[in-house]
Copies of this chain bind each other. A is one copy, B any other.
Amino acid sequence: MSPASPIVVLDSGLGGLTVVRELRNSLPHEDILYFGDTARLPYGSKTALTVGGFVKQIINYLLPFDPKHVVIACNTATALALPQVRSAFPGLSISGVVEPGAKAAIVAAGAKQVPTIGIIATEATVKSKAYERAIHRRRNHARIVLRPTPLLVPMIEEGRHPGDPLVRLAIEQYLKSMLQHGIDVLVLGCTHYPVFKDVIQKMVGGSVVVIDSARQCADDIAARLKGANLLRSAESAPGDARDVINQGTLRCFVTDDPDRFQRLAPRFVGVEIAPPTWVSPDELYGPTRGGDGWRLNVPA
């Protein structure tokens, strides 16, 4: 592993691309491998055993690329599986999105001894209590108001825009009880949600700080790589060719429908992407398939 090694970013689908967008802004020279597990998304309604297994398979598949860092750019997968994934790959630097988001929430809460922090996330992330733990480790007396918001991901995946009346009504319903609690900070605890950040900010009002976990996650990775002397610098190419040669690349892998992924990706990452590589979920389970790729006991 060297500074030239890629950063792996993985997610259940498109949401993690908001982390890629932030990474490309702050670390434009880095090569990024993105894996979207679109055949098995969403992770948000599934268990730790299942999601942990999926993530381990994906990392295993990408190990031959010798990544210098792996980011689980999915709040659900981070909340449910980060410790089990880390212990499965002891030599690998792996981070998630929950800790950076929790840290930023505490910074935003400022000097307030008992801040009220709201968090919206998937059902699985809420149930995991990962954010409560991460926040209470930093400020014991913080009041935490959690709300699962399971329709936001399918609304974003459907391509709905923030101005859609259905989107506004859903966000209003989800935030209503939260606003009655008088929150100081609102954490967008899912990497899909930054797509609706502006309408959410408007709805909670200017006095509430809205934390975008994608942004915080990218800052966290930059600090880790710098600390490990693994940042790829612009200096390694000579003269005028420097900027062109050292512009980092983005390569995407998906487990289903590369066309759909390529079509929807710009909304999340902010630029057009090259056609993704398709990886059959079958491939993730290992090399011992039958002739047609499926284990069939019936006569052909």
Give the interface of A toward B (CB within 8 A). Answer: 38-40, 45-47, 49-50, 53, 56-57, 60, 63, 88-92, 150-151, 154-155, 157-158, 165-166, 169-170, 173, 255-257, 260, 280-282, 285-286, 288-289, 293-299
- Smallest CB gap from A91: residue in B: B298
Contacts of A165 in B (CB 8 A): 169, 173
Interface centre among A46, A92, A170 (most CB of B within 10 A): A46
Name 20 extra pairs, CB < 8 A, besides A38-B45, A39-B50, A57-B295: A49-B280, A50-B256, A50-B280, A56-B294, A60-B294, A60-B298, A63-B297, A63-B298, A88-B294, A88-B298, A89-B298, A92-B298, A151-B151, A151-B166, A165-B173, A166-B169, A166-B170, A282-B285, A286-B288, A286-B295
- Smallest CB gap from A290: residue in B: B286
A53 to chain B, nearest CB (A): 6
With contacts A38-B46, A47-B256, A155-B151 known, is A282 near B53, CB below 8 A?
yes
A175 to chain B, nearest CB (A): 13
Q: How far is the CA of A91 from the CA of B155 in the complex (A)?
A: 42
| A–B complex contacts, Cβ < 8 Å, 11 sampled | A47-B257, A50-B257, A50-B281, A56-B296, A57-B295, A60-B296, A60-B297, A165-B173, A166-B173, A169-B169, A285-B295
A13 to chain B, nearest CB (A): 9
Q: How far is the CA of A165 from the CA of B50 in the complex (A)?
A: 34
> B151 touching A158 by the CB < 8 A rule?
yes
Contacts of A280 in B (CB 8 A): 49-50, 53
Q: Which one of B40, B63, B257, B294 contacts A57 once the chains associate, using CB atoms below 8 Å?
A: B294
Contacts of A281 in B (CB 8 A): 50, 53
A192 to chain B, nearest CB (A): 13
- Smallest CB gap from A281: residue in B: B50
Contacts of A38 in B (CB 8 A): 45-46
Q: How far is the CA of A293 from the CA of B151 in the complex (A)?
A: 32
> A157 touching B57 by the CB < 8 A rule?
no
Interface centre among A90, A91, A151 (most CB of B within 10 A): A151
A125 to chain B, nearest CB (A): 15
With contacts A151-B154, A154-B150, A154-B151 known, is A90 near B299, CB below 8 A?
yes
> A53 touching B293 by the CB < 8 A rule?
yes
Q: How far is the CA of A265 from the CA of B92 in the complex (A)?
A: 41
A115 to chain B, nearest CB (A): 29
Shortest Cβ-Cβ A-B pairs, 6 listed: A285-B285, A288-B288, A286-B295, A154-B154, A50-B256, A39-B50
Contacts of A91 in B (CB 8 A): 298-299
- Smallest CB gap from A64: residue in B: B297
